Each structure stands twice: as structure tokens, then as C-alpha cells.
């Protein structure tokens, strides 16, 4: 596998320190309706799942953490049923303002296609390690305990946990 310098940086960073440089580098804000992001804010605990009809339909899980939206593209969607595990590919941090974004990204721009809010709400961060996040979602469609486990580079598994009995 060959790595561009920018990609190597992403692979070496933890879930935390990424910033918005890559987000901004990939987009031309005169052409896309997406927010450039002013930075700052983001002390809350909101989440959003965007349904992104790009070249390939996928869902983007975004968690408000560390002043940005930590983001994962989930090709098959965030699991609703306990015990289900889904591939989740970590993508560039998005600005906090993106949490309310819905719209149409023009042809030829990064992520061209339509973006809609599929679910939103709050989450509780139960445990955070560089390669593992445990959290509870309280949304309109999604609720319950989830875990994200990094398996390799930007690849994570997103698992909805089974409800503990007794």
C-alpha cells in the first residue's frame, strides 16, 4: 500500500487530533453549500446520521467531540438491531456546523449528491480509548449502546450491543 504524506498523518493520529484541514482541503466553498466551519463551539454531545446519496449510498455517523464532528461513513447504515456489526470507515473531521447540514452537493464536487438528516439526537460517551469508543445513542430512530472498534487504519467496526440481561 502506498501512502501520500497526508494519508500517513491520518493513519497515525488517534481518534482525537485531526482538525478541519483535510475537510477544507477537499472542498471548494464557492461551489458546495456545505459549511466551511468557523471552528470553536462543540462542547455538546449531539450526534447526527446523514443519509448521503453519493455515487454509492452510505450513511455518515457524526459525533460531537473535541470541537469537531468525528465522522464515520457506514456503507450499510448504523445498525438498529442488537448484535449487528457494520464496517465504519473513519473520514475527515467535519465542522460542528455540519450537524444541521442537508442539501445537494453539486456534480463534480467532493461527495456530490444529496445529504439528508436520517437521525439526530444526543449521545453519552461511556468510554474512550484511541481505538475504541463506547457510547449510548438517544435519537429518534437510534437508541441504545454502541461500540466502535478500530480494526485497521481508518477501518472500524460499529456494533450495536445486546441489552444486558438481569
Distance of alpha carbon 36 from alpha carbon 41, whole angstroms? 14
Pair 52, 113: CB distance under 8 Å: yes
We find the least distance from the C-beta atom of residue 61 to Mn ion, in angstroms, to be 10
We find the least distance from the C-beta atom of residue 111 to Mn ion, in angstroms, to be 5
We find the least distance from the C-beta atom of residue 83 to Mn ion, in angstroms, to be 25
Using the contact rule CB under 5 A, the part of the chain among 7-15, 47-55, 92-100, 157-165 near Mn ion is 47-55
Distance of alpha carbon 92 from alpha carbon 23, whole angstroms? 6
Measured from the CB atom, is 60 or 92 closer to Mn ion?
60
| Residue, CB closest to Mn ion | 52
Distance of alpha carbon 63 from alpha carbon 135, whole angstroms? 10
Measured from the CB atom, is 52 or 150 closer to Mn ion?
52
We find the least distance from the C-beta atom of residue 73 to Mn ion, in angstroms, to be 5
59 to 98, contacts with Mn ion by CB under 5 A? 60
We find the least distance from the C-beta atom of residue 60 to Mn ion, in angstroms, to be 4
63 burial (CB, 10 Å; 0-12 / 13-18 / 19+) is buried
- Closest to 32 (Cα-Cα) out of 111, 102, 106: 106
Using CB under 5 A as the binding rule, whether residue 52 contacts Mn ion is answered as yes
Distance of alpha carbon 122 from alpha carbon 110, whole angstroms? 28
Using the contact rule CB under 5 A, the part of the chain among 22-30, 44-52, 94-102, 150-158 near Mn ion is 44-52
Residues that bind Mn ion (CB under 5 A): 52, 60
Amino acid at each position: 500500500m502506498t501512502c501520500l504524506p497526508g494519508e500517513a498523518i491520518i493513519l497515525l493520529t488517534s481518534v482525537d487530533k485531526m482538525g478541519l484541514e483535510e475537510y477544507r482541503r477537499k472542498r471548494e466553498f464557492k461551489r458546495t453549500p456545505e459549511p466551511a466551519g468557523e471552528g470553536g463551539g462543540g462542547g455538546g454531545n449531539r450526534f447526527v446520521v446523514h443519509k448521503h446519496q453519493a455515487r454509492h449510498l452510505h450513511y455518515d455517523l457524526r459525533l460531537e467531540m473535541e470541537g469537531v464532528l468525528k465522522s464515520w461513513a457506514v456503507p450499510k447504515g448504523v445498525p438498529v438491531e442488537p448484535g449487528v456489526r457494520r464496517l465504519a470507515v473513519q473520514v475527515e473531521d467535519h465542522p460542528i456546523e455540519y450537524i444541521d447540514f442537508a442539501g445537494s452537493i453539486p456534480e463534480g464536487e467532493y461527495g456530490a449528491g444529496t445529504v439528508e438528516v436520517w437521525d439526530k439526537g444526543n449521545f453519552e460517551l461511556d468510554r474512550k480509548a484511541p481505538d475504541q469508543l463506547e457510547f449510548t445513542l438517544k435519537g429518534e430512530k437510534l437508541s441504545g449502546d454502541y461500540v466502535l472498534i478500530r480494526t485497521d487504519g481508518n477501518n472500524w467496526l460499529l456494533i450495536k450491543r445486546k441489552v444486558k440481561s438481569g
